[in-house]
Amino acid sequence: MDSIVVTGGGELRGEIPIAGAKNACLTLMPATLLSEEPLTLTNAPRLSDIKTMTELLASLGAEATSMQDGQVLAMSSHDINNHVADYDIVRKMRASNLVLGPMLARLGHAVVSLPGGCAIGARPMDLHIFGLEKLGAEIELKDGYLHAKAPRGLKGTEIELAFASVGATENILMAATLAKGTTIIRNAAREPEIVDLADCLRKMGAQIDGDGTTEIVIQGVDRLHGATHPVVTDRIELGTYMLAPAIAGGEVECLGGRIDLVKSFVEKLDAAGIQVEETARGLKVTRKNGRVSAVDVTTEPFPGFPTDLQAQMMAMLCTAEGTSVLHETIFENRFMHAPELTRMGANIEVHGGTATVHGVKKLKGAPVMATDLRASVSLILAGMAAEGETVVSRVYHLDRGYEKVVRKLSSIGAKIERIKE
């Protein structure tokens, strides 16, 4: 397996273009199943997860063509000839479950394997099933597959989610666009990726109001048509690269960055002593003099601090002045990077969903192992500020969520290379 070698030392300066959002694109792609007409996505990220979703759609009979170096995805679902989303594909990626709602709405039946993905918690399908059953679906779990059918079609209803689940909100939202009557999703997730999905669905002819709030109202229509839609900026990639100069020092401009996508994150950077400035092209991040200050962080659904930036934030706080406390409230197994940071000299105590980070003056390079997507990049960030060489193994996780990470970090002065094995 490949590894990434990082040599610490030296400030970072320059600019990094931020890609389209992985999580948004993976949600937008299944929307093609809702219509016989073409759906084209621009500003698509070039990632292995996008290839996996393309493979899944193709297995169902959809066509998906990558153009312009992968940044444009042209899709068509005029001939869906298979209603089974097979385990061999679905196991690779959690977002595969998002084909369930669209297929059920358009075809009236679907068989979808329970999904896989990073080992950061159970992330069950119960809320997806709850919402779709409220719409009139009949769903049975057999041999690891969800067998769903809607013999009388889907009908609008009121659905209150016990938790503001992003995936469940997305699946229900897509299914409800073709349901008869009005659907109201209460305690809906508010993430920018959901707003982006709603924007795309409106271009396809859906009638949706309230996205970005806790109550989304969908008036079902008979059919949806084709559209062209740009994928929103990836707020997690944005936050990750904003942390690069915050950890290693220097000044970096993140092209395409927007404060509204990462407001709670920026508030924590400001409290730590990191300057963030809006520019005509994005966000400029500058590390002020001296060590950063310790801050406490609690992960929350949007607009709170993103769980997908917790590992990267911990990497910065390892060398902060003082003690920081991080509370992880979204996923139960998301501190697996802490022991690896400890190998680099960090002082971290983990008790359940709480990690206490006692800042040290310097980290030291060491061989470390990535356990999931965000942990991978947190170790790379830590390595850029450590003394000596850090070797990060099992970086195949990284390819799922960050395009051209070595090239982007090298362009701003990081000493980093990927070793093929």
**What is the structure's pLDDT at 273?**
96
**Under a CB-based contact definition with an 8 Å cutoff, are residues 322 and 359 in contact?**
yes
**What is the structure's pLDDT at 31?**
98
The HSE-up count of residue 105 (CA atoms within 13 Å, CB side) is 32
Q: Is 308 annotated as a binding residue?
A: yes
Calpha distance 212→130 (Å, rounded): 21
Give the sign of the dihedral formed by CA 172, CA 227, CA 302, CA 320.
Answer: positive
Out of 175, 201, 230, a domain closes at 230
Out of 230, 257, 284, a domain closes at 230
Q: Is 364 annotated as a binding residue?
A: no
Q: Is 269 annotated as a binding residue?
A: no
Name the H helices within 273-332. 310-317
Q: Is 348 annotated as a binding residue?
A: no
**Which residue from 341, 406, 297, 410 is spatially nearest to 15, judged by alpha carbons?**
410
Q: Is 306 annotated as a binding residue?
A: no
**Which residue from 421, 413, 414 is spatially nearest to 395, judged by alpha carbons?**
421
CATH number of 211's domain: 3.65.10.10
Percent of the chain at pLDDT exceeding 70: 98
Calpha distance 99→164 (Å, rounded): 20
CA separation (Å) from 174 to 107, 200, 207, 275? Answer: 13, 11, 11, 39
**What is the structure's pLDDT at 116?**
55
Residues of the domain holding 94: 25-230
CA separation (Å) from 152 to 107, 108, 109, 136, 148? Answer: 12, 8, 11, 8, 12
Q: Is 303 annotated as a binding residue?
A: no
Cα Rg of the chain (Å, integer): 21
Out of 179, 212, 230, a domain closes at 230
Give, in degrees to the nearest 5, the angle at Cα 176 between 175 and 179. Answer: 100
Q: Is 123 annotated as a binding residue?
A: yes
**Which residue from 236, 248, 253 is spatially nearest to 402, judged by alpha carbons?**
236
Other CB atoms within 10 Å distance of the CB of residue 320: 19
Mean pLDDT of the chain: 94
| 46 & 34 share domain | yes
pLDDT of 137 > 60? The answer is yes
**What is the structure's pLDDT at 122?**
45
pLDDT tens, residue by residue, 7-33: 998 899 999 999 999 999 999 999 999
Residue type, 406: V
pLDDT of 230 > 50? The answer is yes
Backbone angles phi, psi at 202, to 5 degrees: -65, -40
Q: Domain tally for the chain?
A: 2
**Under a CB-based contact definition with an 8 Å cutoff, are residues 101 and 174 in contact?**
yes
pLDDT tens, residue by residue, 98-126: 999 999 999 999 999 987 544 434 446 89
pLDDT of 189 > 70? The answer is yes
Of 55-59, 215-219, 334-338, the one with minimum mean pLDDT is 334-338
| 188 & 330 share domain | no
| 11 & 35 share domain | no
pLDDT of 248 > 50? The answer is yes
| Token digits of residue 332 | 């139960």
Across 235-366, where does the E strand assignment appear?
250-255, 274-278, 282-287, 297-298, 323-327, 347-351, 354-358
| 216 & 281 share domain | no
**What is the structure's pLDDT at 367?**
97
| 286 & 274 share domain | yes
**What is the structure's pLDDT at 91?**
85
| pTM for the structure as a whole | 0.91
Calpha distance 16→152 (Å, rounded): 51
| Token digits of residue 71 | 């940044």
Instruction: Calculate the CA 40 to chain-centre distance.
Output: 20
**Under a CB-based contact definition with an 8 Å cutoff, are residues 15 and 251 in contact?**
no
| 246 & 192 share domain | no
**Under a CB-based contact definition with an 8 Å cutoff, are residues 275 and 286 in contact?**
yes
Of 89-93, 163-167, 279-283, the one with minimum mean pLDDT is 89-93
Find the mean pLDDT for residues 157-166.
Answer: 95
Confidence bin at 311 (pLDDT 50/70/90): very high
**What is the structure's pLDDT at 95?**
84
Residue type, 251: E
Calpha distance 123→218 (Å, rounded): 25
| 141 & 245 share domain | no
Q: Is 88 annotated as a binding residue?
A: no
pLDDT tens, residue by residue, 330-351: 877 789 999 999 999 999 999 9
CA separation (Å) from 227 to 37, 76, 298? Answer: 8, 11, 38
| 148 & 33 share domain | yes
| 241 & 254 share domain | yes
**What is the structure's pLDDT at 132?**
97
In angstroms, the first-to-last Cα distance of the chain is 5
Query: Locate tokens 């997908």: which residue?
Result: 308
Catalytic sites, residue numbers:
118
DSSP one-letter code for 328: -
| 133 & 260 share domain | no
pLDDT tens, residue by residue, 354-407: 999 999 999 999 999 988 888 899 999 999 999 999 999 999 888 888 999 999
Of 14-28, 43-57, 121-135, 187-201, the one with minimum mean pLDDT is 121-135
Q: Is 127 annotated as a binding residue?
A: yes
**Under a CB-based contact definition with an 8 Å cutoff, are residues 121 and 331 in contact?**
yes
pLDDT of 149 > 50? The answer is yes
Residue type, 332: E
| 249 & 319 share domain | yes
Find the mean pLDDT for residues 32-53.
Answer: 95
| 223 & 350 share domain | no
**Under a CB-based contact definition with an 8 Å cutoff, are residues 308 and 236 in contact?**
yes
